[in-house]
Amino acid sequence: MTDRERQPATDAQVKAIANSTRLRIMRLCHHDDWTNKALADRLQMDPSTTLHHLRILEAAGFLAALPVVQGRSGAYEKPYRSTNLSWQLILDDHLEDEESAGEPAPLAAFRQEFREAGLDSSVELTRLHLYLDDDEVAEFVSRVRAIIDEFVESNANREQRTKNSYGVFFAAHRLADPRQPQ
C-alpha cells in the first residue's frame, strides 16, 4: 500500500496513536486477542488505565471489541483485536509521546519493547550517516517504505502466528549541526 492509497488520519486518530502505551497495546492486539485484564497484567498497569487506553483506541478505530467471553476466573471479559487501521493511514511522523515528552511515541514504544525483549533479540541494528539532498532523502524514504509495504502486504493474514514475530522500527532524521552550540 503506498502513501497515495493511505488516507490522512483524523485528529482523534492522531491523538490516539501519540501514546507509546497505546502503540504497545495495538502491537499486542495485532498478534492475539487481549482482554483489559490480560493487558493490564502484561503491561503491569492498573486495569482502569488500560481500559482508558482501550476505549480511546476503539473509538479511533484502531481496535475492535469482540464478543464477550468467560475468563478463567469465571468473569465475563471483552477481548480486543487490532483492526490494522494504522497501516492504512498517513500519520504525522513526529507524534510526540504524551507519556515521555520530547520523544516520538513510536520510538518510545519501540524502546520499551526492545528493552523488554532483551539485547539478544536483535537481528539487525544499523546506524549510519548519509549526506543527501532533499530529492535523495525522498527517494531513500520511498524505497524503504516500498520494501516495508511489500512485507506488510505479505503479512496481512493473521495466521502468520506460526512464524516468529519481529518488531521493526525505521527512522531517518536530520542531524543537528555539530558546529552549533547545544
State the cell numbers at 40. Answer: 493490564
Task: Give me the domains of the chain, ranges plus CATH numbers.
Answer: 7-162 (1.10.10.10)
- pLDDT tens, 67-79? 998 877 788 999 9
Q: What is the dihedral of CA 94, 129, 147, 140, to 10 degrees?
A: 80
Residue 97 pLDDT greater than 70, yes or no: yes
Grade residue 158 by pLDDT with cuts at 50, 70 and 90: low
Type and span of the H or E element at 8: strand 7-8
Distance CA 7, CA 138 (A): 19
Q: What is the DSSP letter of 104?
A: B
Distance CA 108, CA 98 (A): 10
Backbone dihedral region for residue 74 (phi beyond 0: left; psi -120 to 50: alpha; all else: beta): left
3-class DSSP state of 82: strand
Record the pTM: 0.82
Span 132-161, mean pLDDT? 85
Do the strands 76-77 and 34-35 form a parallel or antiparallel pair, or are they unpaired? unpaired
State the cell numbers at 19. Answer: 501514546
Q: Can you give the three-state secondary structure of 136-160, one letter per residue?
A: HHHHHHHHHHHHHHHHHHHCCCHHH
Residue 3 pLDDT greater than 60, yes or no: no
- pLDDT tens, 33-50? 999 999 999 999 999 999
Predicted pLDDT at 93: 58
Predicted pLDDT at 1: 46
Greatest mean pLDDT among 7-21, 39-53, 157-171: 39-53
